[in-house]
Structure 1
Amino acid sequence: MKPTKEELALQVDVAEWNWLRAHLERGGLIVVDREIDIAEVAERIARDDTETVGAWIETGKLSKPNDEQVATWDANAGTSFSTLIISPYVLIKEQ
């Protein structure tokens, strides 16, 4: 059974960049645009909704961290993110 958006919303946590850096190294971080609900993204990934997830990727609403973002976050290691694990990924949304 796939988790619901409501169940996933209860699992959203907050983490600082320095706690997330290791996930970047293994390629597991996905940046969620501020306009999208992180629990909805996790639900769509869990349901293999390739159409919606693909559209978000095409429009830049979901992406891997780029070099500029990483440099900014490295300079401000205390930057906080909403986080949600949807294995094998860690979804992050800058607060």
Structure 2
Amino acid sequence: METESLKAQLTENLDEAEWGWLIPHIEREVVIIVEQQLDLLEVGEAIAEDNAVSVQHWISEQLIHKPLPEEISQWNDQPEKRFKALIVQPFVLVQELRVDG
């Protein structure tokens, strides 16, 4: 798969989502949280290309992970919470959108 066309396709699929939209995906256990210091598109590209070395590194550093029960509980209390979201089948990669003062 060509990297440029993959990156263009992923960029096109990048969107924002409210917490409520993510709940069905949480229930299917396909949501992956991507920490702020990582580029969401770069992570999506690595997953799409099955780049196990990068993905395993991010997992070991806890930079990507399944949502923790505490996070889910917190977000359930904030239904308007927004995320950057990227679908990389079968996963939904999300990053919390920070609201700056």
Interval of TM-score (by shorter of Structure 1 and Structure 2): over 0.9
CA shift for structure 1 position 62? 0.3
Match of 1:16 in 2: 18
> How far apart are the structure 2 equivalents of 1:70 and 1:13?
20
> How far apart are the structure 2 equivalents of 1:55 and 1:9?
23
Figure out how many residues of one structure are paired with residues of the other and give that number: 95
Q: Deviation digits for residues 55-75 of structure 1, max 9, x if unmatched?
A: 000001000000110011000
CA shift for structure 1 position 7? 3.1
Structure 1's consecutive aligned runs of 4 or more residues displaced over 4 angstroms after TM superposition are none
> How far apart are the structure 2 equivalents of 1:52 and 1:33?
14
Q: Is the 8 A contact 1:6 1:39 kept in 2?
A: no
> How far apart are the structure 1 equivalents of 2:7 and 2:56?
19
> How far apart are the structure 1 equivalents of 2:69 and 2:82?
18
TM-score by length of 2: 0.89
Gap runs ≥5 in structure 1 = none
Give the 3-state SS of the residue equivalent to 2:21 in structure 1: helix
Q: Give aligned-pair identity as a percent.
A: 37
Check if 1:46 corresponds to 2:52: no
Match of 2:78 in 1: 76
Q: Could you say which structure has the larger radius of gyration?
A: 2
Q: Which amino acid aligns with 2:39?
A: D
Match of 1:56 in 2: 58
CA shift for structure 1 position 11? 1.6
Q: Is the 8 A contact 1:38 1:91 kept in 2?
A: yes
RMSD: 1.1
CA shift for structure 1 position 4? 2.7
Gap runs ≥5 in structure 2 = none
Q: Is the 8 A contact 1:16 1:80 kept in 2?
A: yes
